[in-house]
Amino acid sequence: MDQLIQEFKNSGSFGAGRLAGACDIYEKMVRDKECTIFLALSGAVVPAGMRTLVTDLIRSRLVDVIVSTGASMVHDAIEALNGHHYKGNVIVDDRELYKYHIFRIYDVFVPEEDYVRLDYAFAEMYREIAAEKKGESLSSNEFAWELGKRLKDPNSILRAAYEEEVPIFMPAVRDSEFGFIHWLHASQENQKNILQVDAFKDVPQLCGICGKSPKNGMIVIGGGVPRNAVQSAAIASKKGLDYAVVITMDRPETGGLSGSTLRETVSWGKVKSEADKGMVIGDALIIFPIIVASVVERLGAKFRRTPYLKRGKLAHGE
């Protein structure tokens, strides 16, 4: 794999050059003993089959912090409860799917029953967490660990993150099935003693991690809220990112954050002007596995990474 990337590096131009550059930057992040690595996840990460890739990165400590949409963790939880994302077809009559209770995500099918199973299992978890926490309000990453603690599947991202004490921030946690489940849970409990998640509590935690780390790097799959949350933490902690890789197909001209250039982030101080940074214009579900494969090959089988921030420290940005 890395041989091809080296050929791309020699040409050095256009997308191939940017891809080779992104591999170099991720390798540098990994080898930099002072760098904390943030992985920002958006889009159909789990349905596209990148679940074990992310779990492996967590377990081998090639990432330190995950910032995710709620949906990706919902997809992870569905698989942890033996649900499946089936290979489907994009040319299909969605009215038929609706009739047969099959949800479509582009060319992937998920049975509605997998969601129903999730709803009831997790509502029960919410009840249990609420009972333990006795009215204390959680942050999104504390919530993620509580979920991971209760999942058994070793391939689960939530489980792996809990075991490895890798924080998973979900800045828009409510915007996913987790939100609906909370409504179900609150109904079941008659609105009493229900799980509390604080909308703002993870802000100082995420910023704290940036702040305590001598250097910070991010890898963005897609964009959206996860990218923004990492960049905002970098500026709020007055650090600015030292490394940045963004993989996206969004474009800059509309002014949306997902497609905005890394050059633009420099004006804000989100990314340092002298940072190693690069953007790959492409489908992250193709590009990111290539980057990881290339970098893992360079690191070699014996390589072990020791994160700068120790486990407890990472937990709550303390």
Site for a second copy in 200-229 (CB under 8 A): 200, 202-204, 207, 222, 224-225, 228-229
Q: 3-state SS string over 45-68?
A: CCCCCCHHHHHHHHHCCCCCEEEE
Tokens 């002014």, residue located: 255
Specify the pairing of strand 241-248 against strand 271-281.
parallel
Specify the pairing of strand 168-169 against strand 137-138.
unpaired
Three-state DSSP state, 102? strand
User: Per CB under 8 A, which region of 33-41, 57-65, 156-164, 191-199 contacts a second copy?
Assistant: 191-199
Q: What would the two tokens of residue 191 be?
A: 């609105």
Contacting residue, 33, 113, 116, 273, with a second copy by CB under 8 A: 273
Three-state DSSP state, 205? helix
Cα angle value 42/299/228 (rounded, 5°): 20
Nearer to a second copy, 159 or 182 (CB): 182
User: Could you say which DSSP state residue 36 is in?
Assistant: E
Interaction pattern, residues 7-26, with a second copy; x per rule: CB under 8 A: xx-xxxxxxxxxx-------
Tell me the closest approach of the beta carbon of residue 145 to a second copy, in angstroms. 15
User: Could you say which DSSP state residue 308 is in?
Assistant: S
Clarify whether 270 is annotated catalytic.
yes
Tell me the closest approach of the beta carbon of residue 33 to a second copy, in angstroms. 27
Contacting residue, 121, 186, 299, 315, with a second copy by CB under 8 A: 186
Spatial separation of the C-alpha atoms in residues 66 and 46, rounded to whole Å: 14
Interaction pattern, residues 90-129, with a second copy; x per rule: CB under 8 A: -x--xx-xx---xxxxxxx---------------------
Of the candidates 215, 239, 270, 272, the residue annotated as catalytic is 270
Chain-centroid distance of CA 120 in Å reads 25
- For the segment 282-311, give every residue that binds a second copy (CB under 8 A): 282-287, 289-290, 293
Q: Where are the alpha helices (DSSP H) in 237-283?
A: 262-268
Nearer to a second copy, 19 or 73 (CB): 19
Using rule CB under 8 A, residue 4 touches a second copy: yes
- For the segment 19-58, give every residue that binds a second copy (CB under 8 A): 19, 42-44, 47-50
Tell me the closest approach of the beta carbon of residue 85 to a second copy, in angstroms. 7
Tell me the closest approach of the beta carbon of residue 137 to a second copy, in angstroms. 7
Spatial separation of the C-alpha atoms in residues 260 and 305, rounded to whole Å: 31
Residues annotated as part of the active site: 270
